[in-house]
C-alpha cells in the first residue's frame, strides 16, 4: 500500500516538473530520479518458512497451537487441519464440549471428528488466527495434519526437490 502511494506521489511530482519546466532534459532527469527511487524502495520482509523433506518423504514441522508445541505433517490432501486428541488436550481445547459428527477418512480408516476453531496456529513467522480444524477421538491418529484450512490462507506454497516453502502475505 505504501509503495503504491509513493509511486503516485512520484508520478505526480514528475508530471508537475514536466508542466513547470517544459524542458526535455529536466523531464528526463525527473524520470530517472523516479526510477532510481522506486528501485531503492525497501521491500517488505516476507513471512516465509522453509521445511526440509524428512527421511520418510513427509514434510514435518513444529507448530504452536494456542502457544503449545505440536509436531505436524503437511497434508495437502486434508481439507482441514486435523489434530490428535492428545494434542488438542495439551493445547487446552474444550474436548468435553465437542460433538464428533464429521465423517473423515484417515490413513487408519474411517472415523468421526469434531469441528472447532483454533485461536492461533503458528509455524515459525507464519501466524494465523481463527483456523478451522478437526479433532479425532483418542487413538484414531498418530500425527497432526497441517491441511488446507491453514495452507489456503498463505500467499503461496511450493515444493522444489526436497524443500517446501510456505509464504505468508506481507
> What is the per-residue pLDDT across 102-159, written as a single tens digit (0 to 9) for each?
999 877 789 999 999 999 999 999 999 999 999 999 989 999 999 999 999 999 999 9
57-60 — which CB contacts under 8 Å span 24+ positions? 59/159, 59/164
Cβ–Cβ < 8 Å for 82, 121: no
DSSP assignment of 59-126: -EEEEEETTEEEEEEE-TT-SSEEE-HHHHHHTT--GGG--EEEEEEETTEEEEEEEEEEEEEEETTE
Q: In the prediction, which pLDDT does 32 show?
A: 78
Give the β-pairing of 81-83 and 126-135. Answer: parallel
- Give 69: exposed, middle or buried? Use CB within 10 Å, 0-12, 13-18, 19+: exposed
pTM: 0.73
> Tens digits of per-residue pLDDT, 55-111?
999 999 999 999 999 999 999 999 999 999 999 999 999 999 999 999 998 777 899
Confidence class of residue 5 from pLDDT cuts 50, 70 and 90?
Answer: low
pLDDT tops 80 at residue 23: no
Amino acid at each position: 500500500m505504501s509503495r503504491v502511494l509513493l509511486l503516485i506521489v512520484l508520478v505526480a511530482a514528475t508530471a508537475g516538473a514536466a508542466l513547470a519546466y517544459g524542458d526535455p532534459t529536466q523531464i528526463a532527469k525527473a524520470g530517472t530520479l523516479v526510477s532510481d527511487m522506486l528501485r531503492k524502495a525497501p521491500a517488505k520482509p516476507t513471512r516465509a518458512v522453509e521445511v526440509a523433506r524428512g527421511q520418510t518423504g513427509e514434510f514435518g514441522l513444529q507448530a504452536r497451537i494456542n502457544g503449545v508445541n505440536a509436531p505436524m505433517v503437511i497434508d495437502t490432501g486434508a481439507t482441514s487441519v486435523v489434530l490428535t486428541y492428545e494434542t488438542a488436550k495439551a493445547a487446552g481445547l474444550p474436548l468435553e464440549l465437542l460433538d464428533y459428527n464429521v465423517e473423515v477418512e484417515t490413513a487408519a480408516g474411517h472415523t468421526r471428528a469434531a469441528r472447532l476453531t483454533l485461536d492461533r496456529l503458528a509455524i515459525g513467522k507464519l501466524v494465523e488466527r481463527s483456523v478451522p480444524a478437526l479433532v479425532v477421538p483418542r487413538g484414531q491418529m498418530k500425527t497432526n495434519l497441517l491441511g488446507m484450512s491453514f495452507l489456503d490462507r498463505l500467499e503461496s506454497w511450493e515444493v522444489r526437490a526436497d524443500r517446501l516453502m510456505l509464504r505468508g502475505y506481507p
